């Protein structure tokens, strides 16, 4: 009769899995992050509503853009200037000449007022920037066009004001969308915590309380399938807890009295009584949240540069306008022509191109990235990636697949690999131990049927004993061989020595006290990882690996992939410190990870890159996400960054240089030579500048990442 046994009693301590001992310690010591000292940090449960809601701003700019764009159509169609330039005419009727001004006034009041409001803080702080310059341009264009309605109907340019407002609304909509997409990490973390908890009173009664009401020392009941409300120690009960949202590891962790549990993790099939050791700000989850929160304060360097350029341009425009007014008044006396000249200067100064230079490139680059499996959440991260000289990879789930597979198999003479593997799979039964899972999975992949065994018995600290075809069969580690006083054949001894150098645990299959086969199980390395490391080296980028795994295991993976630096046996709360150490050495660091324990390191790094198959929190904490979980896409990130930054700088240089060169022309420095720029022509040239910036940004779509044309996403 085929045996059946509960995996809970299956003792693998004799397997010699020293390489796996770190895992439990790493998980438990995550709670030490509570000592990080975040006294000013609000309760974790309150983070669902933390910070500024940028979704409202995004919706506002989106709505105003589409409405203003629709209203701009009749403004353009009924503009005498536009009709003259393009050689068409609109039907004339009583009041038709007022259609353009009527809709333009609505556009100014509806689409332009937000910029006037946003200019107030810049004026108040005496630091004029983009908003002040935009406000100046649209206000001057608006007032001059109203004046022209009564003085010179052909001289107004409501169309210029309307298109300027449209472009600025579009740019800010794109910007707010980017900000909103970068603000979800804290919400994802907050979702891990339950709202209510079951507190056990001294008399044994159970009361429902809010998680915020829990205090250190409280005893709580965690039912099967419930989220753990606070960090604590198991007092009573036995269960498996899903800690994947914190560790990135999919395998449940067994919990029994004395074990630590972490707030936000998910209880399995058993009930637990937990003594609370940390709540609110002091939990491991809150500590991670505090660090992740720092990622929410990012701004594009190029955008900062654009803002500064706008500030300089404001003062330059005012100075040139003042000099123009003074010079032309002295030369011709004050008249309408002087007003027209000053207006031309201020219109030329309006940052059509400057306001669109960055948002348009960002929009195109994010689209291009998406087609290549790269999601850009933080534009600062994308810009910074071009300067990265060191990339740190998390091992488990990033360079490796995060699941154990059969790494090696050796048999003695007379035993085939298939026979030994089928028998080992039968002996291991339904054990949840990673080595047992790896052996069974290998048998399944080879389409082998596990041999039936009877008389199963777990030998504490040694391994397993069972009976197959009347023969006693054992499976276990070195302690099993010591117990049996079994001598390894030379072939198995060499296999063991090679595995030891790689930090791999060895399982022996013993039949009637004679070792017949040896197995090694290891985390499976992604086939793309070696190629990714080689490509990064070719780009002059150093590659490091950061892992909680034992050093021999980590060094074996590093040697296989050609990694330069290995940081092993690192606890989750210390990963961020390792990143900071490299930064203090003057290195610009990118971190690639997949678990919540990677989130602080992802935030600390100059660029955080999350593997798409990782946890939601790790993804939300990173500036860049690799959708296809392919390490090779890290290379594409750097290529995209360099191409994007190049386009940003080209657009900024064109936008600012054009303004600087055009302003003297608008002022009339070439008037002695018969060259005089009218406000209308100035507005036209400004629009052409915007078109050039837009076309230049479109060339970014032609960039081939990874040497391949981007595939179209269905």
Q: Is 490 helix (H, G, I), strand (E, B) or coil?
A: helix
181: number of Cβ within 10 Å: 17
Angstrom distance (rounded) from CA 319 to CA 275:
70
Query: Nearest-CA neighbor of 675 among 195, 344, 388?
Result: 344
The 10 Å CB-count burial string (b at 16+, else e) for 84-109 is eeeeeeeeeeeeeeebbbebbbbbbe
Question: The tokens of 357 are what?
Answer: 């230079």
Select which of 394, 523, 594, 598 is catalytic: 394
Q: Is 649 helix (H, G, I), strand (E, B) or coil?
A: helix
CA angle 292-296-297, nearest 5°? 125
Burial call 223-262: b when 16+ CB within 10 Å, e when fewer: eeebbbbbbbbbeebbbbbbbbbbbbbebbbbbeeebbbb
> Distance between CA atoms of 5 and 475, rounded to whole angstroms?
15
Q: Which residues contact 440 (CB under 8 A, 6 or more apart)?
A: 425, 428, 450
Look up residue 705 and give its DSSP letter: B
Q: Which string of b and e fits 318-329 if b means at least 16 CB within 10 Å?
A: bebbeebbebbe
> Rounded distance, CA 625 to CA 185, Å?
13
Q: Give the single-character DSSP code of 32.
A: G
Question: In angstroms, rounded to a whole number, what is the distance separating the alpha carbons of residues 253 and 249?
Answer: 9
Q: Rounded to an integer, what distance in angstroms lies between the CA atom of residue 161 and that of residue 406?
A: 69
Q: Which residues contact 212 (CB under 8 A, 6 or more apart)?
A: 43, 45, 280
Q: Name 113's Cβ contacts closer than 8 Å, sequence gap at least 6.
A: none
Question: How far is C-alpha 430 from the chain's CA centre?
Answer: 37
Nearest to 77 by CA among 162, 134, 138: 162
Residue 53 known to be catalytic? no
Q: Token pair for residue 240?
A: 């498996």
- 472, 486 in Cβ contact below 8 A? no
Give me the active site residues, please.
394
């Amino acid at each position: 009769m085929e045996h059946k046994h509960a995996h809970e009693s299956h003792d693998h301590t004799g397997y010699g899995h020293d390489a796996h001992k770190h895992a439990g310690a790493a998980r438990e010591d995550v709670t030490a992050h509570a000592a990080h000292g975040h006294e000013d940090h609000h309760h974790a449960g309150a983070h669902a509503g933390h910070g500024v809601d940028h979704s409202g701003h995004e919706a506002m700019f989106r709505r105003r853009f589409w409405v203003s764009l629709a209203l701009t159509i009749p403004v353009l169609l009924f503009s005498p200037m536009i009709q003259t330039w393009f050689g068409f005419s609109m039907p004339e009727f009583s009041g038709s000449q007022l259609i353009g001004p009527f809709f333009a006034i609505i556009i100014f009041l509806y689409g332009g007022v937000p910029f006037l409001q946003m200019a107030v803080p810049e004026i108040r702080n005496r630091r004029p920037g983009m908003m002040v310059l935009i406000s100046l341009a649209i206000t001057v264009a608006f007032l001059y066009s109203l004046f022209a309605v009564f003085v010179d109907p052909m001289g107004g340019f409501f169309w210029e004001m309307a298109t300027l407002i449209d472009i600025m609304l579009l740019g800010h909509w794109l910007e707010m969308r980017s900000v909103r997409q970068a603000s979800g990490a804290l919400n994802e973390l907050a979702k891990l915590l339950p709202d209510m908890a079951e507190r056990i009173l001294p008399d044994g009664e159970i009361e429902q309380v809010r998680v915020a009401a829990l205090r250190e020392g409280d005893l709580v009941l965690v039912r099967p399938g419930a989220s753990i409300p606070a960090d604590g120690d198991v007092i009573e009960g036995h269960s498996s807890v899903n800690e994947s949202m914190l560790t990135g590891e999919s395998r449940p962790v067994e919990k029994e009295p004395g074990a630590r549990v972490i707030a936000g993790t998910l209880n399995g099939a058993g009930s637990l009584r937990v003594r609370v050791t940390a709540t609110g700000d002091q939990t491991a989850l809150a500590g991670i949240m505090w660090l992740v929160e720092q990622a929410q304060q990012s701004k594009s360097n190029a955008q900062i540069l654009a803002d500064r350029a706008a500030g300089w341009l404001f003062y330059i425009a005012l100075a040139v306008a003042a000099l123009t007014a003074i010079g032309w008044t002295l030369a011709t006396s004050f008249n309408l022509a002087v007003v027209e000249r000053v207006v031309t200067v201020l219109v030329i100064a309006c940052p059509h191109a400057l306001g669109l230079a960055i948002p348009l490139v960002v929009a195109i680059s994010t689209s291009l990235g998406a087609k290549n499996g790269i999601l850009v959440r933080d534009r600062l991260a994308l810009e910074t990636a071009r300067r990265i000289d060191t990339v740190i990879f998390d091992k488990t789930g990033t360079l490796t697949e995060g699941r154990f597979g059969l790494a090696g198999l050796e048999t003695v003479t007379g035993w085939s690999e298939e026979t030994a593997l089928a028998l080992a799979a039968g002996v291991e039964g339904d054990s949840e131990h990673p080595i047992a899972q790896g052996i069974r999975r290998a048998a399944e992949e080879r389409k082998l049927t596990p041999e039936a065994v009877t008389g199963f018995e777990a030998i504490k600290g040694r391994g397993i004993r069972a009976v197959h075809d009347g023969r006693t069969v054992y499976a276990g580690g070195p302690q099993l061989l010591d117990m049996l006083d079994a001598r390894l054949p030379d072939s198995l001894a060499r296999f063991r020595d090679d595995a030891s150098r790689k930090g791999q645990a060895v399982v022996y299959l013993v039949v009637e006290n004679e070792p017949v086969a040896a197995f090694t199980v290891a985390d499976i390395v992604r086939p793309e990882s070696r190629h990714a490391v080689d490509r990064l080296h070719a780009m002059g980028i150093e590659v490091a690996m950061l892992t909680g795994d034992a050093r021999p295991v980590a060094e074996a993976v590093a040697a296989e992939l050609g990694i330069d630096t290995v940081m092993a046996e690192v606890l989750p709360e210390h990963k961020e410190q390792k990143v900071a150490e490299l930064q203090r050495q003057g290195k610009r660091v990118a971190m690639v990870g997949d678990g919540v324990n990677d989130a602080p390191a992802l935030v600390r790094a100059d660029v955080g890159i999350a593997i798409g198959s990782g946890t939601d929190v790790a993804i939300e904490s990173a500036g860049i996400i690799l959708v296809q979980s392919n390490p090779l896409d890290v290379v594409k990130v750097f290529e995209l960054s360099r191409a994007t930054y190049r386009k940003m700088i080209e657009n900024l240089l064109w936008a600012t240089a054009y303004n600087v060169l055009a302003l003297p022309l608008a002022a009339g420095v070439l008037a002695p030579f018969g060259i005089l720029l009218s406000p209308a022509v100035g507005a036209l040239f400004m629009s052409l500048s915007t078109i050039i910036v837009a076309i230049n940004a479109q060339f970014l779509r032609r960039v081939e990442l990874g040497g391949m044309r981007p595939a179209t996403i269905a």
